[in-house]
Amino acid sequence: MSSAFLVASCILFSDPSLTSCVQYVFGLYTTLNLISIWCINAMQMKTITIIGTGYVGITTATVLANSGHKVFALDVDESKIKTIKSGKAHFFEKGLDDLISRAINSGSLIPTTSYEESIPESEVIFSCVGTPDREDGSPNLDYIFAAAEGVAEHSKDGVIITQKSTVPVGTGKELIKFIKNKNPKLKFSYVSNPEFLREGSAVYDTFNDRMVVGSDDNGAVETVVNLYKDVHEFAKGFDFSKVSDYAAEYSGGQEKAKDFESRVIRTNLKSAELIKVSANAFLALKISFANNVAQLCDKTGANVDAVMDGIGADSRIGRAFLYAGLGWGGGCFPKDVSGMITVAEDHNVDMKVMKAAVEVNAEMVGFVVEKLRSKIGDLKDKKIAVMGLSFKPGTSDIRNSQSVKLVNELIKLGAKISSFDPQAMAEVKEKFDNGVELAGGIDDAIDGVDAVVIATEWKEFREYDWGSAGKLMKGDLLFDARNCLDPEMVENVGLRYVGVGRN
Ligand code: UDX
């Protein structure tokens, strides 16, 4: 076939009059082809608004904008919008700024504070606003309903309203009623598409994790799934070395599925809502289980790493999220777990198992403090370096950070604290008005201390030359409260190693 085409081309091009005619036909053919590709792309390109530019919102907006869609990033907070306009996120997340600035420069990402500018044009809207917890532990849905009000007022017919924020099961049904009540004429579909991305691996997870899409409208489900198909295509050419240093963290070596369809879970609205909360609850439960077993290891002389390797090798259990340490924190687990407990109470269900998980987690700071005291005696006037203040590595987020709780507990007992975190120093500056010495680096933080406690397992602490620490420290205790260092290495450089459940 191709050789016949070659012969025909040679004959045609040997005659000059035929050549210009053929060139004209080829030119026309190519132009028409390009126009049709452009038309198909334009037809598939959607105008989208993402409401809320937190970790979930700005990451979702940015990857969709890089995947061929026109995306408004809407937030009522002018300072956040100003930062995004300058091509940056308002928090640290490796690789995200690069994607934001690319999308801003191409014009596909449009940060705005205006519902009027963004919503009327949008075919799909993602609600990614915060759901902080109230005093009683129940989730505060005020921002969710405020966003829904703006959507009801300004949307055009046919809009797909997609909920990404973590909401209690049944919220979608209430929101549908609320929007219908605010704007009875509006024709819309409602989809629950909960988010599973981890801070510190936000971009990686958006490209690789599962997608749960739940609705009673199958057409709307497929539209949302197709948006992710575009993200999946964009991810094929993406250089993952530019994003998370921590993507494989706690995974126990389990590989994620790469094929698109196997990542999609289509379900109904209420199941999608409950999947999100239950997923976080189960992960928190796994960690608390590991920590509870670690306490038992310390009493019995067993080693928690070996125990978790042994049980994690059972494919029914799995090794992921069975890493013992100071406990869980952050913007999701604490509020999602307490939200689940209180919402279940409204339905007369007692989530006993989750209450126990919360209790174990709350004990872990005290457990570490007690163990520290057993090693170096009374903590009054002892100088302790607490390394790491963010709730986990890879992020500047200090919400519900166990490390911050540890610092406060040590101060209560009269210890003098120096501290360093590779990203969260600006965040803690306002938090600690109680005399914590905020150091400029690791050397500075450990200089002259009686003991070092690693409270967040940053790469910088794992890769630090602990051999040089002995010369700087006054004491010799290295308390690895995240079980992230090799005990043998620490002992070999002349320091005393203590971990959580590691014997
Ligand atoms: C979590 C969920 O993982 C994510 O799917 C969801 O969308 C949001 O909530 P994130 O809060 O970013 O993500 O942090 P994650 O990586 O899950 O860690 C949570 C906490 O558990 C951290 O404090 C971490 O240090 C701790 N942890 C995690 C452990 O102590 N041990 C483990 O084995 C795993």
- Six-digit token pair at 330? 């952050």
Q: Looking at the DSSP assignment, which residues form a beta bridge with residue 453?
A: 386, 479
- State how far the Cα of 425 lies from the Cα of 431, in Å rounded to an integer: 10
Smallest CA separation from ligand 1 atom 5, residue: 196
Candidates 228, 195, 202, 198; CA nearest to 98 is: 202
Cβ-count burial of 465 within 10 angstroms (0-12 exposed, 13-18 middle, 19+ buried)?
Answer: exposed
Identify the band that residue 31 occupies on the pLDDT scale cut at 50, 70 and 90.
Answer: low
| Among 333, 423, 458, 480, residue to substitute to test ligand 1 (most atoms within 8 Å of Cβ) | 333
How far away, in angstroms, is 250 Cα from ligand 1 center? Answer: 9
Give per-residue pLDDT as tens, 223-244: 999 999 999 999 998 888 888 8
Between the CA of residue 297 and those of 181, 318, 368, 369, 408, what are the distances in Å?
A: 57, 20, 14, 17, 27
Contact between residue 53 and residue 73 where contact means Cβ atoms under 8 Å apart: yes
How far away, in angstroms, is 21 Cα from ligand 1 center? Answer: 65
- Six-digit token pair at 503? 């014997």
Q: Kindly state the greatest CA–CA separation across the chain.
A: 99
How confident is the model at residue 101, as a pLDDT? 98
Chain CA centroid to CA 277, Å: 15
Q: Where are the alpha helices (DSSP H) in 347-467?
A: 352-376, 402-412, 425-431, 442-446, 459-462
Contact between residue 126 and residue 213 where contact means Cβ atoms under 8 Å apart: no
How confident is the model at residue 88, as a pLDDT? 97
Phi/psi at 426 (5° precision):
-65, -40
Residues with CB under 6 A from ligand 1: 195-199, 250, 280, 283, 287, 321-323, 325, 328-330, 332-333, 391-392
How confident is the model at residue 44, as a pLDDT? 80
Between the CA of residue 35 and those of 21, 42, 76, what are the distances in Å?
A: 21, 10, 39
How confident is the model at residue 86, as a pLDDT? 98
How far away, in angstroms, is 324 Cα from ligand 1 center? Answer: 12
| Residue that wins the pLDDT comparison between 16 and 471 | 471
Q: With 80 as the cut, is the pLDDT of residue 23 above it?
A: no
Smallest CA separation from ligand 1 atom 26, residue: 328
Chain CA centroid to CA 26, Å: 50
Identify the band that residue 40 occupies on the pLDDT scale cut at 50, 70 and 90.
Answer: very low
Q: With 90 as the cut, is the pLDDT of residue 124 above it?
A: yes
The one-letter code for the residue type at 157 is: D
Residues for the chain: how many in total?
503
Kindly report the average pLDDT of the chain as a whole number.
92
Among residues 128, 297, 332, 484, which one is catalytic? Answer: 332
Smallest CA separation from ligand 1 atom 25, residue: 392
- Six-digit token pair at 48? 């989208």
Candidates 230, 39, 196; CA nearest to 124 is: 230
Going 362 to 366 to 369 to 375, the CA torsion angle's sign is negative
Q: Which ligand 1 atom sits nearest the alpha carbon of residue 482?
A: 30
Q: Which ligand 1 atom sits nearest the alpha carbon of residue 195?
A: 7
Q: Which ligand 1 atom sits nearest the alpha carbon of residue 205?
A: 5
Candidates 81, 71, 21; CA nearest to 46 is: 71
Q: What mean pLDDT do residues 333-357 have?
A: 96
DSSP 413-424: TT-EEEEE-SS-
332 is catalytic: yes
How far away, in angstroms, is 379 Cα from ligand 1 center? Answer: 30
How confident is the model at residue 39, as a pLDDT? 47
| Residue that wins the pLDDT comparison between 136 and 401 | 401
How far away, in angstroms, is 176 Cα from ligand 1 center? Answer: 31
Identify the band that residue 17 occupies on the pLDDT scale cut at 50, 70 and 90.
Answer: low
- The region of weakest confidence among 217-231, 232-246, 271-285, 371-385 is 232-246
| Among 277, 287, 338, residue to substitute to test ligand 1 (most atoms within 8 Å of Cβ) | 287
Q: Which ligand 1 atom sits nearest the alpha carbon of residue 401?
A: 23
Q: Half-sphere exposure of residue 103, counting CA atoms within 13 Å on the CB side? A: 30
How far away, in angstroms, is 290 Cα from ligand 1 center? Answer: 14
Q: What mean pLDDT do residues 151-165 have?
A: 98
User: pTM score, two decimals?
Assistant: 0.88
Give per-residue pLDDT as tens, 451-466: 999 999 999 999 999 9
Contact between residue 333 and residue 364 where contact means Cβ atoms under 8 Å apart: no
Q: What mean pLDDT do residues 6-12 have?
A: 48
How far away, in angstroms, is 188 Cα from ligand 1 center? Answer: 35
**Which secondary-structure segment (H or E) carries 104?**
helix 96-106
Contact between residue 358 and residue 333 where contact means Cβ atoms under 8 Å apart: no
Q: What mean pLDDT do residues 154-183 have?
A: 97
Q: What angle do CA 121, 179, 182 make, to 5 degrees?
A: 95
Q: DSSP state, 443?
A: H
Contact between residue 69 and residue 108 where contact means Cβ atoms under 8 Å apart: yes
Place of tokens 């409260």: 481
- Six-digit token pair at 216? 């009673």
Q: Which ligand 1 atom sits nearest the alpha carbon of residue 194?
A: 7
Q: What mean pLDDT do residues 102-107 have?
A: 98
Contact between residue 399 and residue 391 where contact means Cβ atoms under 8 Å apart: yes
- Six-digit token pair at 308? 């978790």
Candidates 327, 338, 332, 398; CA nearest to 365 is: 327
The one-letter code for the residue type at 113 is: T
